[in-house]
Amino acid sequence: MTFTSTSPKGTALVTGASAGIGAVYAQRLAKRGYDLILVARNAERLKTLADRLSAETGRTVRTIAADLNNKTDLLKIESVLRDDASITLLVNNAGIGSVASVLNSNVDEMEAMIDLNITALTRLSYAVAPVFAAKGSGTIVNISSVVGIAVEMLNGVYSASKSYVLSFGHALQRDLADKGVRIQTVLPGATATDFWDTAGLPVQHLPREIVMTADHLVDAALSGLDQGELVTIPSLHDKAEWDVYEAARKAMSGRLSNAVVAPRYAI
């Protein structure tokens, strides 16, 4: 499936685009002049959003109803990313979460979470990265979460999946930065979307002072992209905290492999 773009900015493909953060990304990117390919499971919601955005912005908005946990659907989106030369931006937003402990969660549901949060995001990134590298331009935005760092906060599989997205983003930056491809990893904190209903903790039960609107989250993330940030944490007020954390991680990285056992193990 191939689309053509009439926009000088090209086409942005957004997953999980029918509601919440993905829908706000779609609106903001259309206003920035991107044509859109919107991907989500709910075809009716997608069409309603696409019709509204086309009317509001005049941009070309196409939709693909796809379940990224379905291998056939996932391969279809991979083909779009490989074949449509107008695509200049991929927003890997689709994902699902949970607040349940390992003792109260279904392992099949956890596997499905891994398939969506990790496998689909990885495969879509792998599909588009060579295309962007070949033309020396393009942007991949991967939506992680603050629980990728604060891993004890929610369900362990969800936190681990978002730690993966953060780690994967670092590796993508290493591999693609010199090819002209931009990578941004966004770490939302608690955001007022229906994510929380699916996760098992309605957002109304969270302290209001920790919950950001999806509009503010996306606007901040796009501002971070404009500023050239590799990792954007919209709810972290003191960026120096992240800088110190990253500097410590990178400094320790050079000391993690050693032929000599650490003295504390007394071998």
> Residue 92 sits in which domain range?
11-265
Is 158 considered catalytic here? yes
Helix axes 121-135, 71-83, angle to 10 degrees: 10
* pLDDT tens for the chain, residues 1 to 267: 455 666 899 999 999 999 999 999 999 999 999 999 999 999 999 999 999 999 999 999 999 999 999 999 999 999 999 999 999 999 999 999 888 888 988 999 999 999 999 999 999 999 999 999 999 999 999 999 999 999 988 889 999 999 999 999 999 999 999 999 999 999 999 888 776 566 566 666 667 877 899 999 999 999 999 999 999 999 999 999 999 999 999 999 999 999 999 999 987
- CA distances, 35 to each of 52, 86, 144, 156 (Å): 13, 9, 24, 37
pTM to 2 decimal places? 0.93
**Within a domain: 136:** yes
**Within a domain: 243:** yes
**Within a domain: 207:** yes
Phi, then psi, of 91 in degrees rounded to 5: -110, 105
Number of domain units in the chain: 1
**Within a domain: 1:** no
**Within a domain: 6:** no
DSSP letter for each residue of 114-147:
HIIIIIIHHHHHHHHHHHHHHHT--EEEEE--GG
Q: What share of the chain is helix, strand, coil (3-state, %, to 5)?
A: 50, 15, 35
**Within a domain: 5:** no
Distance, in Å, from the CA atom of 147 to the CA atom of 144, rounded to the nearest integer, reads 8
Under a CB-based contact definition with an 8 Å cutoff, are residues 145 and 167 in contact? no
Exactly one of 25, 34, 126, 158 is catalytic; which is it?
158
Distance, in Å, from the CA atom of 35 to the CA atom of 1, rounded to the nearest integer, reads 16
**Within a domain: 2:** no
CATH assignment at residue 140 = 3.40.50.720
**Within a domain: 261:** yes
